[in-house]
Amino acid sequence: MTPDALLRQQLVNLLTMPQAHMTFDDAVKNFPSAHYNTRPAGVEYTFWHLLEHLRICQWDILDYCRNPNYQYMEWPRDYWPAPDAVTDAAGWQHSINQFVADLEALVAMVKNPQTDLYVPIPHGYDGHTILREILVVADHNAYHIGELGILRQITGIW
């Protein structure tokens, strides 16, 4: 396997496999619908807000990587639902489905040998590369997926 192919495989594994962290599928599996809008004690957001934050951030990075007309969003306002926003089963499932679809698009980007992982994104900021953005997604996802798992544990809904 070439060094490039090896790197691409490791990036795909980092995005999709349980490598020293919980997977997204494990974190949301059998999540009780009665708690989509639960705000754990001491936390400023609900479980669905956290799920949506994961979805929004991942989508934003995907858009940044592939859209030459990318528009920067305002932090933190545009990266979280409104504090009083709630969802239902359809909204919860939509967030999951979109997260998975966007993750699959990122994986396809990494697997595509035509994707230059090292060249700065033409419309990007400060020399950002696809490689950097994939690592940011993996890091951000691992952090918040772990948070979702811990919050499930401390609220007794695992």
pTM exceeds 0.95 for this model: yes
pLDDT in the model for residue 135: 99
Nearest Cα to Cα of residue 152 among 44, 43, 25, 47? 47
Average pLDDT over residues 95-100: 99
pLDDT in the model for residue 70: 98
Omega of the bond leading into 76 within 30 degrees of 0 (cis):
yes
Average pLDDT over residues 109-131: 98
How far apart (Å, rounded) are the C-alpha atoms in residues 150 and 66? 33
pLDDT in the model for residue 44: 97
Which is the CATH superfamily of the domain at 3-154? dinb family like domain (1.20.120.450)
List CB contacts of 158: < 8 A, sequence separation 6 or more. 149, 152
pLDDT in tens, 37-89: 999 999 999 999 999 999 999 999 999 999 999 999 999 999 999 999 999 99
pLDDT in the model for residue 49: 99
Domain coordinates in residue numbering, the chain: 3-154
Average pLDDT over residues 81-109: 99
Average pLDDT over residues 16-45: 97
Categorize the per-residue pLDDT at 110 as very low, low, confident or very high, splitting at 50, 70 and 90: very high
pLDDT in the model for residue 52: 99
Categorize the per-residue pLDDT at 128 as very low, low, confident or very high, splitting at 50, 70 and 90: very high
Backbone angles phi, psi at 120, to 5 degrees: -60, 140
Q: 10 Å Cβ neighbour count for 148?
A: 20
Categorize the per-residue pLDDT at 147 as very low, low, confident or very high, splitting at 50, 70 and 90: very high
